Structures are given as structure tokens and as C-alpha cells.
Amino acid sequence: MGVIRFLKTRTGFRVDNSQTTSAAALTLRQSIWPLTLVTILFFLWGFAYGLLDTLNKHFQNTMHITRTRSSGLQAAYFGAYPLASLGYANYMLRHFGYKTVFIFGLTLYGIGALCMWPAGLNRSFGGFCAATFVIGSGLGSLETAANPYITVCGPPRYAEIRINLAQAFNGIGTCVAPVLASYVFFTSVDDDVNALKRVQWVYLAIGIFVFVLAGIFFISTIPEVTDEDMAFQVAETHVDEQEKPLWKQYKLFHATLAQFTYTGAQVAIASYFINYVTETWPGTSSATGSKYLAGAQGVFAVGRFVGAILMRFAKARWVFLVYLSCTVAFIAASTTQQARTGVAMLFCTLFFESVCFPTIVALGIRGLGRHYKRGSGFIIGGVSGGAVVPPILGHVADMRNSTGFAMIVPTMFMVVAWTYAVAVNFVPAYSETVDKVGASDIGLREENVTPKDIEEAATAKIG
């Protein structure tokens, strides 16, 4: 009987967004456990993304498809994001809360991973794309909840630091995946088709782990953050942005555009990194290129840790501007370089890319108040740029037979994203809102420690 009662308290429930809870003022100590669980999700996202970049080149070799067609993996993966962030996952987030979306996203991720098995048995690129779409749907759901949750779960003053530290584990995942792939997928110079069978086993292990993690989320207490909590935070900082209807939040839509163009460029660079290395550095194998990609992703993770530390001493918006400006410079330089120099340019590009995605999320939802769940859905939906830019780069590379020249494509998209970094630093309407929320002492005051969160209250009521 006690077990049944316990399980009832662990299930999802309908969230009352008109209710203010203690989650509006969680302290650093109170937020440690939920943030730890959500940070694991970022590692999973990075691991899946890192495998995707490696599979892109692997399928070109084993299935003899063009660079343009291989980008179908990215199109399937990132094309699922707006369906989740603007559709079903966002609806669930607003009506059933974060915990429900976390469990739902993990379940989809696990199902997609298991679907890789029949795709591998049948050597079906279309099957791999379909399984990747399901995985993307799951991860899109997780991102829809995880990014805003990391940002708002704890003192607003440290929002950018929290999300960059959590996303640094995303970078670790993207570093580990290519290393694994270099020993599992690229085991011979000829990229034996038997490696497809090893792909199946990797995804089977992922599926099992993800389902176990979903169970851990089910039994864990996850403080909910309601629309009214965010309205309270914004009111406390004397920001009136939330009084505007959502469609008038032009800064939000500028952040969404920046996320779309930035993510599209980032995904395109990583997706064709191995192509770039093997083409511009004669004699370099795909396995070696995969190891270089792992190294570049490691630099990417380091960049996030460094960026989070810098944000402790400088405003996040300034760090963001410097990083994105350097990203534009180095990716532009890579289009004219070869061999070691060109690869070094891409390493520098990935280092400075590191803080951009999470910082756009954190800055973009500041001041939205009760609109933040819908607003964060738009920004996460911008990840769909990853489905658009890689095919363009692949097509240009096929036309010119040069991946190096095709790096001009992500360069142009990065420039569009750079306009948001400039605006958030030099346009008062942007910078004042960001700075007012960032200067808040919510979650740092001792009087905010006592109230219980919604789920604890529900547990007590059932008990």
C-alpha cells in the first residue's frame, strides 16, 4: 500500500500556472539536485549529437551517398525540434510541468535509439533517418524543458553561468561520442559495412540507459516553476516587458532568429568537419578525422567552462559578444586555409562557439515573465536551423567539390546571429532588461528558503 501511495506522488500532474511557489526563489543549495539531473540530459544530448556528426561521414562511405544526401540525418534530427518546442512538448510543459516533459522526452529518445536496430539490420539510410527523427523528437522535448529550467531554477543572477556549466557537459558528450565512433564505426580504412551492426549495439546501450534515467526522474522530486513564479521574478526586478503580448516581444524573435542561424551554422561545421579534414589535409583518414573532431569538441567543452568562469567576473552579454565575434572571424579564415592551419581555425571556431547557444537562451527569455514558457519554445525551435544550413553547405560542397570553400555558408549565417550579440550590448531596450534581471538578489536572501514546492505540497496532501 505504501508503494502504491509513493508511486501516486511520483506521477505527473496538472500544473496550476496561476500559483506562485517557492520555485520562484530557490536558493543555490535547493537547486543542486534537480540541476544535477537535468545536467545529465545535456550530456545525453551532446553524446547523440556527436554520434550524428560521425555517422554523417560514415554513411557517405558505407552507403556510397553524396554529402548532400547524408545531411538528411541532420534534417531529420533538427527538423523534429520545432514540432516539439512549438508543439506537443511546449503544450505539455505549460499544462503538465517540467517533470512530465522530461520523462516523455526520455521515453521518445529511448524508442528512437531502439529503432536504430532494425535500420541497421536492413542497411536502410531512410530507416536511420526515421529513427533519428524520433530521437530528435525526444531530445527536442528535453531541450524545450531543460534549457529554460536550468535558466530559472535558482537565483536569476547566475542564470547564464548555470546554463553554460550544464551545457559544458553537453560538450563533453560531443567529445566522447566521436572518440567512441573512431574505434567502433571507422575500424578499417574501407569502413566495412559490418560497422553498421556495431552502430546497433551502441544505440541499444543508449536506449537502456535512457529508460533507466526516465525511471530516476519518475521517482525524484523536481520543483516546478510556474508562469506566476516568473511573473513574480520579473515584477521584483521592475521590468515591465511581460505586460506586452507575446507577439510584441520583438527581442524574443530576434533571439530566435539568432538561435536559428547560429545553430544551423554550428551544426553544419560539425557535420562536415571530417569531410573538411580529409579533403584539405591529404592522406588523412576518416578515423583520424573523427579523432580530430573529438579533439575539437573537447575544446568546445573547455570553451564553455572558461566562458562560465568569465561570466562570474564580466557581464554575460559582453562575453557572448566577444565569443561570437571570434567565431565569425575564425570560421571565415577556415575557408582559405589548408591542412594543419585550416583544422586549427576550426578548433578555434568550436572554442568560441561554446557559450553562444546557452547564452542566447538565457538572454532571450529574460524579462518575459509569464510568457517565458512560450517564449523559450520559440528560441529552442530556432534549433531547427540545424536542419536547414547543413544541406546548403553540402550542396555547395558537391557543386564546387570543396568542403573548405563551402564553409562560407556557415560564415554568412554566423554574421546574422552576430547582430543579436551587438543589439543585446549596444541597444538600451535590450541591455537594460537583461541587466535589471541579472542584478536581482532573488534566491540569495535567507527569507526565501522556507516555502515548499508544488510537488512536495502534493505529496503531503496525498499522505
Predicted confidence at residue 354, as pLDDT, reads: 87
> The C-alpha cell of 396 is what?
555547395
Predicted confidence at residue 458, as pLDDT, reads: 43
Residues 25, 185: Cα–Cα separation, whole Å: 47
Q: Where are the domains of the chain?
A: 26-224, 232-439
Q: Which residue type occupies 204?
A: L
Residues 59, 298: Cα–Cα separation, whole Å: 24
Do the first three CATH levels of 26-224 and 232-439 match, i.e. the same topology?
yes
26-224 CATH: 1.20.1250.20
Contacts of 212 (CB under 8 A, 6+ apart): none
Predicted confidence at residue 46, as pLDDT, reads: 75
Residue 196 CB neighbour total at 10 angstroms: 23
Cα dihedral sign, 298-317-81-26? positive
Predicted confidence at residue 450, as pLDDT, reads: 41
Please give the CATH superfamily to which domain 232-439 belongs.
MFS general substrate transporter like domains (1.20.1250.20)
* pTM summary value: 0.75
The one-digit pLDDT tens for each residue of the chain (463 residues) are: 454 554 445 445 555 555 555 555 555 666 677 778 788 877 877 777 667 666 656 666 666 666 667 767 777 877 887 888 888 888 888 888 888 888 898 899 889 888 887 877 777 778 888 888 888 888 888 888 887 787 777 777 777 788 888 777 777 777 777 667 666 655 554 445 566 666 677 778 888 888 888 888 888 777 777 666 666 666 665 555 556 666 777 888 899 999 999 999 998 898 888 888 888 888 777 778 878 887 888 888 889 889 888 988 888 889 999 999 999 999 999 888 878 888 899 999 999 998 898 889 888 887 776 777 788 888 888 888 888 888 889 888 888 888 888 889 999 999 999 999 999 999 888 888 777 765 565 555 544 444 444 444 444 444 4
Predicted confidence at residue 54, as pLDDT, reads: 65
Q: Give me the residue label for grid cell 542564470.
A: 159
pLDDT by residue (tens digit) across 393-427?
988 888 888 888 888 999 999 999 999 999 999 98
Predicted confidence at residue 463, as pLDDT, reads: 44
Q: Which residue type occupies 391?
A: P
Residues 185, 198: Cα–Cα separation, whole Å: 7
Residue 352 in contact with residue 327, Cβ under 8 Å?
yes
CA nearest to 383, candidates 86, 53, 59, 174: 86
Predicted confidence at residue 239, as pLDDT, reads: 53
Between helix 28-62 and helix 72-83 the angle, nearest 10°, is 150
Predicted confidence at residue 452, as pLDDT, reads: 45
Predicted confidence at residue 420, as pLDDT, reads: 94
